[in-house]
Structure 1
Amino acid sequence: MRIVVISSGFSTEDILNHTLSHSEANCNCSSSSRVLEEVGRWFLASALIAIALAAVLGNLLVIISIAYFKKLQTPTNAFLLSLAVSDFLVGVLVMPFSLVRTVDSWQFGDIFCKVHSILDVTLCTTSIYNLSCIAFDRYFTVCDPLRYNYRMSTSRVAKLLFLCWTLPLLVSCVPVVLDLHVKGIEKHLKEVGPNICILVVNIPYAVVASMLCFYIPAAVMLAAYGKLFSVARKQARQIDTVENQVNGRIFCPLRARQRFTMKKERKAAKTLSIIMGIFLVCWLPFFVVNITDPFMGYSTSPVVLEVFLWLGYVNSSMNPFLYAFFNKSFRQAFVIILGCKMIGRQFQNSDLSGDTSRQAQTELGLFSR
């Protein structure tokens, strides 16, 4: 190779100074970018740690409340307890390792990557199944209250809880252990770089798992809550009509009662909208990508997958607020626990919410059983 030097009227010293100045500028730019990158990484880590802590502490508070207060140990709250346990385990066993993978890279080897994937799918699906059982329970509370004790007996609740935990384990464990989820896509797996723990699945597994883990439970929740609100609204109007007819024989129609009925309807609609809205916002993006990505040649960016997965994790952090903090009995239990007032049996056996049955009727049976 021949090197050609072209003279341009600059001295050697000028050329060296110009080169050094450019090197210093490039060095300063690189240092600034590294600083910004580290700041962004720490900010991301802090946000993800906050999500994990909310899932752990919030669900732990629900678990302690149900375990300590006998008034909260009901068949209905058995589903809330199971939900809190599954979300708590997501915060303890899944989120910390996902956090390291998201902020840096996977540092725990290929074997534990499989274990982590199994835990991730199992616990998140169990959480979704528990949400479906809660929707079923609240549906029977309002739509068939006379046969509620028969339909949601202790044995049936136990069977539903058994399915909530075993079916997700089968969906996640058997295909991953036997490598059925990667059959036919071995060439694509070779393109995945080192220190990356991504559950890459073939089309059959993506479709079946997505349907079992999300779409069918979500359809059940939508149907149950839609019917629940429709029946509760109809019952509230019937009660208001009967009371107005009886009172109209003696007094003028009670406008205040009508306003109260409308207020209950708006509250029920708002509550159900919040429940389903947050659930769909958290999990729908991930499962849409999960079922479409194999058909698109696995072209979805890993960053997009991480964002949508953590959005799903947020649901585990929000569930204690949605399903327990809206309940007056749980709110009172939380105040007692956080106030360190769990001294003596009078708190353990205390009636946390007064007349529970009347409260259930007042709030249309949505959150107060």
Structure 2
Amino acid sequence: MEQQFNANTSLQIELQSCTTSRNQISRIFLYAFLSVGIICTVVGNFLVVLSIAYFKQLQSPTNSFVMSLAVADCLVGLVVMPYSMIRTVEGCWYFGSLFCQLHSSLDVMLCTASIFHLSCIAFDRYYAVCNPLVYSLKMSPSRVALLIAVCWAVPMLISFGPIMLDLHVADVDILLPQDVCVFLVSRIYAVMASLVAFYLPMAIMLVAYWKIFKAAKRQARQISALESQMAAGVGKDSSKKKKHRNTMRRERKAAKTLGIIMGVFLLFWMPFFTVNIVDPFIDYSTEVVVWDIFLWLGYINSSLNPFLYGFFNRSFRRAFLMFMGCRKGWKMCKARLEDAT
């Protein structure tokens, strides 16, 4: 108990000094670097929202999740990342304790909503690939709307309620000064919130994408076998080799796509949520710079989502190019997309 009191006291003394040790050049560099990330997050996700809202050809159950995901990520870039940037670079919080709570609530809610949407996209793709005959029934408009509502409601419940009522620090005996905004949480909240916000969606994504990969592999082999049978009368060994190469190409493409999606998600969010659970059990001794690095890694995931779920799609790419390069009016752009699809 005495050791814990000393650890808490030393932490409180450390947090009372919010002066930054960075020189002017490093601060300018950080502001420029992080500002580029914020702009990419906002612009990229806004393009996704604009494309789906304007072009009817892009309006589908899967893209409903993608659009809602882009809204969450765009809000991360608009209302969360700018204040986090100032806190990271300056080392101080200039906006008061009440806004610190509000900012922390928005941070937890929007990042959790983003992760929830990723798991819903995995769930949607699982039914589209593994159970295509019941896909329209399972992913009806009403069910899609319900899942999107859950993606927003649950993060709001685990963020605004506990944080604004100080329930997340019920067992934490550390008083933070007005010019410091550090998100300290109790052990119970750290474990429960991390399980709900990250580890449960991660498990859903891993199971769904593993089954999708197995189904895609099986379908590629079935297609190859069917093509071989159709060409059996005239096919030569070279034809069989070509079909085999096509099968292997499909399998590699599926593995690459799913590997990138899961790899990016785990790479950018796993460090933060691991430290988030561990930190309360080591008397909050994690360095502030470690928190900042892992937190911004999570923010970067919101910047990359438009590329992973939008820019890799041919129809999205055409829509983006039309928005950025078409000079003869929206109607002509729309007509060109209709012809392309």
Whole-Å separation in 2 of the counterparts to 1:344 and 1:61: 15
Q: After TM superposition, give the deviation of residue 352 of structure 1 in Å.
A: 5.0
| Alignment match, 2:229 | 245
Q: After TM superposition, give the deviation of residue 347 of structure 1 in Å.
A: 2.9
Q: After TM superposition, give the deviation of residue 349 of structure 1 in Å.
A: 5.1
Q: Does structure 1 residue 41 correspond to structure 2 residue 27?
A: yes
Q: After TM superposition, give the deviation of residue 176 of structure 1 in Å.
A: 1.1
Deviations 1:265-293 (A, max 9, x none): 11111111111111111100000000110
- Pair 1:101–1:268, CA change in 2 (3 A): same
Match of 1:268 among 254, 261, 271: 254
State how 1:200-349 maps to structure 2 within 5 Å: 200-253=184-237, 254=239, 255-341=241-327, 343-348=329-334
Q: After TM superposition, give the deviation of residue 242 of structure 1 in Å.
A: 2.2
- Higher-Rg member (1/2): 1
Q: After TM superposition, give the deviation of residue 205 of structure 1 in Å.
A: 0.4
% identical equivalent positions: 51
- 2:69 touches 2:118 (CA, 8 Å); kept in 1? yes
State how 1:140-155 maps to structure 2 within 5 Å: 140-155=127-142
Q: Which runs of 5+ in 2 are unaligned?
A: 1-19
Whole-Å separation in 1 of the counterparts to 2:340 and 2:43: 27
Q: After TM superposition, give the deviation of residue 92 of structure 1 in Å.
A: 0.2
- Pair 1:36–1:87, CA change in 2 (3 A): closer
Deviations 1:78-102 (A, max 9, x none): 0010010000000000000001100
Q: After TM superposition, give the deviation of residue 40 of structure 1 in Å.
A: 1.0
Code of the residue aligned with 1:198 in structure 2: it is V
| Alignment match, 1:23 | none
| Alignment match, 1:119 | 106
Deviations 1:278-311 (A, max 9, x none): 1111100000000110011111011111110011
- Pair 1:344–1:207, CA change in 2 (3 A): closer
- 1:71 touches 1:349 (CA, 8 Å); kept in 2? no
Cα-Cα RMSD? 1.7
Code of the residue aligned with 1:169 in structure 2: it is M
Code of the residue aligned with 1:249 in structure 2: it is G
Moved over 4 A (4+): 349-355
Deviations 1:121-180 (A, max 9, x none): 000000000111111111111101111111111000000000000000001011112211
| Alignment match, 1:22 | none
TM-score (ref. length: structure 2)? 0.90
- 1:70 touches 1:349 (CA, 8 Å); kept in 2? no
| Alignment match, 2:36 | 50
Q: After TM superposition, give the deviation of residue 350 of structure 1 in Å.
A: 4.7
Q: After TM superposition, give the deviation of residue 249 of structure 1 in Å.
A: 3.2
TM-score (ref. length: structure 1)? 0.83
Code of the residue aligned with 1:202 in structure 2: it is S
Whole-Å separation in 2 of the counterparts to 1:122 and 1:36: 31
- Pair 1:315–1:346, CA change in 2 (3 A): same
Q: After TM superposition, give the deviation of residue 73 of structure 1 in Å.
A: 1.4
Code of the residue aligned with 1:179 in structure 2: it is D
Whole-Å separation in 1 of the counterparts to 2:339 and 2:281: 52
| Alignment match, 1:132 | 119
Whole-Å separation in 1 of the counterparts to 2:171 and 2:235: 76
Q: After TM superposition, give the deviation of residue 70 of structure 1 in Å.
A: 1.1
Code of the residue aligned with 1:65 in structure 2: it is S
Q: After TM superposition, give the deviation of residue 44 of structure 1 in Å.
A: 1.2
Match of 1:64 among 26, 38, 50: 50
- 1:139 touches 1:228 (CA, 8 Å); kept in 2? yes
- 2:102 touches 2:164 (CA, 8 Å); kept in 1? no
| Alignment match, 2:168 | 181
The aligned length equals 319
Whole-Å separation in 2 of the counterparts to 1:296 and 1:340: 56
Match of 1:82 among 64, 68, 78: 68
